[in-house]
Amino acid sequence: MNSYKVYIADKIFTGEEWLNSHAIIVDDDLVKDVIPQKELSYDVTVNNFGSSILSPAFIDLQIYGAYGKLLSQFPETESLSALNNYCRCGGAAFCLPTVATNSYDVFKKAIDAVKDYWSTGGEGVLGIHLEGPWINPLKRGAHLEMFVHPPLLSEVKELLEYGDGVIKIITLAPEQCSNAVIDLICSAGVIISAGHSNATYKEAKASFANGVKAVTHLYNAMSPLLHREPGLAGAALDDDKIMASIIPDGYHADYAAVRIAKAVMKERLFAITDAVTKTNKGPYQHELTGDKYQTAGILSGSALTMHKAMLNLVNHCGIEMGEAIRMCSLYPAKLMSLDNELGKIKKGYKAKLIAVGQQESTCFLL
């Protein structure tokens, strides 16, 4: 056992259960076993994290940039490295860099950056999330209207071919897209998430039946839940097959609204940061205002890390810590069809672990 890495802490959350006085044995970056500490051999070297909690690492499926490097403005490997480092500091071993509504040229440069990042051994980046431009201008939020338009089938096909293997999620307004467009995106193996949409409840439910799998940042930039027209928000709450991301920063959604959504959606709701970074160049200029970002006076992104998101879910939304951890790890892995290798500390799973504490500064990716 001497060649193995062994991690212990007072508590371990496996993604399925809480364990006390147990050890995680790692071999070749995979979890070999989880056993009681008393079963460890005496000569083994142990990494002891004491009062910290060992848990599966987080996954952030929507983040735009970090440390002054907004990906859409700086579509290069350095931006992805900065973004990955920011995510790691917040306990996220994996992320999905996101580009908001923009030109196809910018999308392609961001796709090229991911390919270059991978070719040089870059880790942590799962692909890319394109948020727009096929959204509803009535619900564009901070997105620039000059780039917003309904898609032609030919341009969708070209973009999918260019980003084959890189594009993982596309956020679009289903009422702005034909069934042929939806079918084409689904056939490419890309997840469609409804967002920045003014869809009626009926339109939203029809899109779910036609291949839309998720909803982007629940409540924000979408037709709201009203008592006579439940809208996209109501449709997401009401459909037991649809997952939804949410931004638990207290600005994008009141904590009570997060708590209500969680009570209804249960394991279908997961957290994202939606984090941007300060920039004064290009079409999207984000300014840090307190602990959130604005552009032209409009709320444009969060200053969250995934660890902070998890703590907010616990401390402000009343969600049990294990379930909050799942919202930041197992459930995003499930949307990405990675829940057979990520999101749990379990034999055969990837050994992507964090030691996490109750303070925002106490989070370490192992």
Other CB atoms within 10 Å distance of the CB of residue 258 = 27
Distance of alpha carbon 155 from alpha carbon 75, whole angstroms:
21
* 274 assigned to active site: yes
Is residue 165 over pLDDT 70? yes
DSSP 87: H
pLDDT category at 359 given cuts 50, 70, 90 is confident
Count how many residues are written for the chain.
Answer: 366
Domains of the chain with bracketed CATH: 5-55+346-365 (2.30.40.10), 58-335 (3.20.20.140)
Q: Which of 43, 274, 291, 339 is catalytic?
A: 274
Q: What is the mean pLDDT of residues 253-259?
A: 98
* Omega prior to 36 cis, within 30 of 0: no
Distance of alpha carbon 208 from alpha carbon 201, whole angstroms:
11
Q: 284-341: per-residue pLDDT in tens?
A: 999 999 999 999 889 999 999 999 999 999 999 999 999 999 999 999 999 999 999 9
User: CB neighbours of 240 closer than 8 A, spacing ≥ 6?
Assistant: 268
Q: 54-98: per-residue pLDDT in tens?
A: 999 999 999 999 999 999 999 999 999 999 999 999 999 999 999
Q: 174-211: per-residue pLDDT in tens?
A: 999 999 999 999 999 999 999 999 999 999 999 999 99
Chain-centre distance for alpha carbon 295: 22
Token code pair at residue 285 = 């200029």
Q: What is the mean pLDDT of residues 116-142?
A: 97
Tell me the backbone φ, ψ of residue 36, rounded to 5 degrees.
Answer: -60, 145
Is residue 361 over pLDDT 80? no
User: CB neighbours of 190 closer than 8 A, spacing ≥ 6?
Assistant: 160, 167, 168, 169, 170
pLDDT of res. 362: 80
